[in-house]
Amino acid sequence: MKVLAVASAGGHLSELKMITNNLSDKFEVTIITEDKGKDDPSIDYFIPYSNRANKLKYLFAFINNFRLAFKHLRIVRPEKIISTGAHTAFFYFVVGKVFFKTTNVYIESYAKVTSESLAYRLSKRFIDTTIVQHQEMQDVEVGSKFFGGVY
Amino acid sequence: MIFVTYGTQPHNFEYLGTVVNAIDSKYQVSVQIGESQNNITRAATSVADYLDNFDQIVEQSDIIITHGGVGSIMAGLKLGKKVIAVSRLAKYGEHVDDHQLEVTTKLASQGHIYHLERDQDINNVLAEVLATEFKPYASNTKNFVENIEKILLGEYND
């Protein structure tokens, strides 16, 4: 089964890798993350790093990320997309659902315990399954599944 | 040795620098500062942007003082280290929001780590932490990934 795994840099990527490193060989995984200048042979495609700190720069990144999501999804043609957030998830979930009929699995960060994430709020209409890593988060992101943390 | 890590955020974290500066000279201190501005003036303190041997440094440390990032906290917990977490707060421009507070508060309430509040004396806290037995963190990775596989294969049942 072809799975596209995508996450923003930092903690999101390390949580994603804990999953992809342990998936069985039933899954053919393509990993996408943001480019922070780190040489990492386990990453298949990079998108430019961005964050919400600079609003104007983020607007350009926002448009560019949709373009890149379309490009990568057209190459990979995955059946499922998994993401550990944050904003990077949104672009692939939207483009995947609308143009490529993907099944989207969102894994909320271990860091989120009591409040909804922006990535989830933006993406929820495009997500098929949400997984949270703290039981109390099931009350915040309603309908989500819980089976402990990834760590 | 005390190892201090700021994570990878592009935001400054002046407060953690003041914590480092206040640490008693009897401790050996090593710092990974990432992209935060360096206001460390403490003598005999090594400061690196990033460390290729991060896990090795953690392994050699007695106490990890870390920003509230999950990756940094777990790097310490998985190696059975005593962890003091200092949450980056949005009101001081240390992060985009206060999410670090959620997980540091929870892990501290479960007895896995110590959460350093802004008005605390670091040397008193270090003495307390050295005398405290923290609860070990049991890995759930295998169970987590097995459930993810079931979801991907459409075999998951609640």
Q: What is the pLDDT of residues A29-53, one digit of tens each?
A: 999 999 887 788 999 999 998 777 7
Does residue A27 sit at the B interface (CB-CB below 8 Å)? yes
Over residues B25-78, the pLDDT tens digits come to 999 999 999 989 999 999 999 999 999 899 999 999 999 999 999 989 999 999
Cβ atoms of B47 and B62 within 8 Å: the answer is no
B155 in contact with A at a CB cutoff of 8 Å?
Answer: no
Would you tell me how many other CB atoms lie within 10 Å of the CB of residue A54? Answer: 12
DSSP secondary structure, B22-76, as one string: HS-TTS-EEEE-TTS------TTEEEES--TTHHHHHHH-SEEEEES-HHHHHHH
Give the pLDDT band (50/70/90) at residue A28.
very high
For B78-99, how does the pLDDT look when each residue is reduced to its tens digit (9 = 90+)? 999 999 999 999 999 998 888 8
Q: Does A52 touch chain B (CB under 8 A)?
A: yes
Interface A:B, Cβ pairs < 8 A: 96
Q: Please report the residues numbered 94 through 133 in chain A whose beta carbons come closer than 8 angstroms to any beta carbon of chain B.
A: 105, 107, 109-115, 117, 129, 131
Give the one of A9, A11, A22 whose C-beta lies nearest to B69's C-beta: A11
> pLDDT tens digit string along A92-119?
999 999 999 999 999 999 999 999 999 9
Chain B residue numbers with beta carbons less than 8 Å from the beta carbon of A24 are: 149
B145 near A CB under 8 A:
yes
What would you report as the CA-atom Rg of chain A, rounded to the nearest whole angstrom? 14
**Secondary structure element (H or E) that encloses residue B149, with its range:** helix B141-152
Question: How much is the pLDDT for B2?
Answer: 98
Task: Count CB-CB contacts under 10 A for residue A31.
Answer: 19
The answer to whether the CB of B30 falls within 8 A of the CB of B36 is no
Nearest-neighbour CA in chain B from A22: distance (Å): 7
What is the average pLDDT value for chain A, to the nearest integer? 94
Q: What is the mean pLDDT of chain B?
A: 95
Kindly state the average pLDDT of the residues A69-76. Answer: 98
Q: Which two tokens stand for residue B106?
A: 């929870």
Q: Which of B7, B102, B140 sits opposite A149 (nearest CB)?
A: B140
Q: Which of B72, A76, B96 is nearest to B86 (CA)?
A: B72
> Which of B77, B78, B103 faces A113 most closely, judged by CB atoms?
B103
Which ipTM score applies to this complex?
0.94
Q: Is A18–B137 a contact, with Cβ atoms under 8 angstroms apart?
A: no
Q: Report yes or no: B58 at the A interface, CB cutoff 8 Å.
A: no
For residues B136-143, give the mean pLDDT. 96
Residue A49 confidence (pLDDT):
85
Partner residue opposite B145 with nearest CB, options A10, A19, A53 = A19
B80-115 core/surface letters (b: 16 or more CB in 10 A; e: else): ebbbbbbbbbeeeebbeeebbbbbbbbbbeeebbbb
**Sign of the alpha-carbon dihedral angle for B54, B57, B59, B64:** negative
Which long-range contacts link B126-133 to residues 24+ away (Cβ below 8 Å)? Answer: B126/B2, B126/B23, B126/B24, B126/B27, B126/B63, B126/B84, B129/B63, B129/B82, B129/B84, B130/B62, B130/B63, B130/B82, B132/B82
Could you tell me which of A121, A115, A85, A80 has the C-alpha nearest to residue A101?
Answer: A80
DSSP H stretches of helix in A22-103: 55-76, 87-100
Q: Is the pLDDT of residue A79 over 80?
A: yes
Q: Which two tokens stand for residue B150?
A: 């079931």
Alpha-carbon distance A94 to A85, whole Å?
13
Which pLDDT score, from 0 to 100, does residue A120 have? 96
